[in-house]
Amino acid sequence: MRAQLAAARAEGRRALTEIEAAALLGEYGVPVSPFRLARSAEELDAALRAVAPPWAVKIVSPDIQHKTEVGGVVLGVRSAQGARQAFADLLARVRAARPAARIDGVLVQHQLEDAVAEMLVGVSRDEQFGPVILAGLGGIFAEALDDVALRVAPVDRAEAAVMLRELRGIRLLTGFRGRPAGDLDALAALIANLSRLAVELEDDVAEADLNPVLVLPAGRGVVAVDALVALR
């Protein structure tokens, strides 16, 4: 994996594709929602057979880091017909928004719909202290509500659990107003695994966002749905 990271950096790339990022995270025991890459209509049909619905359909491009900002994500797709439509629409939108971007294809990903909450878990690099691990509510909530918990890596599972309790928004994961409690143990394990990645790959990885990480009801785990890995 280090060789792959080095190769990507040598190409002058600023980030891994989502597929590369998923492979890297998988190697460090960070669960990623199953997906298939489709580069053509035929491959799309094969992907729809391999991955269980409902689906999220997302653009894959080495030149696009924030996919939603160019209309590169369609969620809640439930039929093959809908998936083919989403495939065509998505390519058209992205080509219009970013004509120069290279497009590797689209990703068909199983979309979990019974998550208790969506979290952001990420890595940053402090100039003085090195890799930093961050957790907050997913999507744009962490930023908008300014509610994040930080640690300088390494972070073990016990410390990750303490870290999560610092979040004001953690109430959403602990059975707030009759909602099921989320699998916080699995979330702490994910944070510890990401910390290991951040420390071991400090020389290559500048930043990472797993956003969202879906937190399933207690006992059912967590799964990263979208991953951005920015290179140094």
Partner 1 sequence: MLDLAFAPSSVAIVGASANPAKFGYKVVEYLQKGGFTGRIYPINPKAEQICGLSAFGSLSDVPGPVDLAALLVPAAQTLDAIRECAERGVRVAVVIASGFAEASDEGARNQAEMTRIARQAGMRLVGPNCEGLINFHKGFVLSFSMMFLGQIAGPISFISQSGAYCGIVSSRLSRAGVGAAKVVSSGNEGDLTAVDYLEYLAADPETRVILAHLEGIRDPRRFSRVIGEVAARKPLVINKTGRTETGRRQAASHTGSLAGNDRVLGALLRQRGVVRTRNMDELVDAGLALASQPALPGNRVAVISTAGGLTVEMADLLGEAGFAVPPLAPASQEALKSLVPWFGTVANPVDVTGAMASEPAAVGKCLDVVLGDPAIDAVAFVLTAVGDPEFSRVVHTRILETRKPILICWTAGRERAGEALEYFTTRRVPVYESTVGLVRGLSALRDYWRFRLRGEFREEAGP
* Residues at the site binding partner 1, with contacts judged by CB under 8 A: 14-15, 65, 120, 122-130, 132, 134, 136, 140, 142-143, 148-152, 159, 206-209, 211, 228, 230
Token pair listed for 155: 């972070």
Strand partners, 131: 125
Task: State the nearest-atom distance from the C-beta of 55 to partner 1, in Å.
Answer: 25
Q: Report the b/e string of 184-204 with b at 16+ CB within 10 A.
A: bebbbbbbbbbbbbbbbbeeb
Nearest residue (CB) to partner 1, 74 versus 148: 148
User: Which distant-in-sequence residues (6+ apart) come within 8 Å of 96 by Cβ?
Assistant: none
Q: How many other C-beta atoms can be found within 10 angstroms of the C-beta atom of residue 88? A: 12
Task: State the nearest-atom distance from the C-beta of 58 to partner 1, in Å.
Answer: 17
Q: Are 208 and 127 in contact (CB under 8 A)?
A: no
Task: State the nearest-atom distance from the C-beta of 113 to partner 1, in Å.
Answer: 23
Task: State the nearest-atom distance from the C-beta of 228 to partner 1, in Å.
Answer: 6
Task: State the nearest-atom distance from the C-beta of 207 to partner 1, in Å.
Answer: 4
Nearest residue (CB) to partner 1, 183 versus 209: 209
Q: How many other C-beta atoms can be found within 10 angstroms of the C-beta atom of residue 96? A: 10
Nearest residue (CB) to partner 1, 125 versus 179: 125
Nearest residue (CB) to partner 1, 129 versus 178: 129
Nearest residue (CB) to partner 1, 86 versus 148: 148
Task: State the nearest-atom distance from the C-beta of 88 to partner 1, in Å.
Answer: 30
208/28 Cα distance (integer angstroms) = 14
Q: Are 187 and 154 in contact (CB under 8 A)?
A: no
DSSP 8-state assignment for residue 179: P
Nearest residue (CB) to partner 1, 22 versus 51: 22
Strand partners, 133: 123, 151
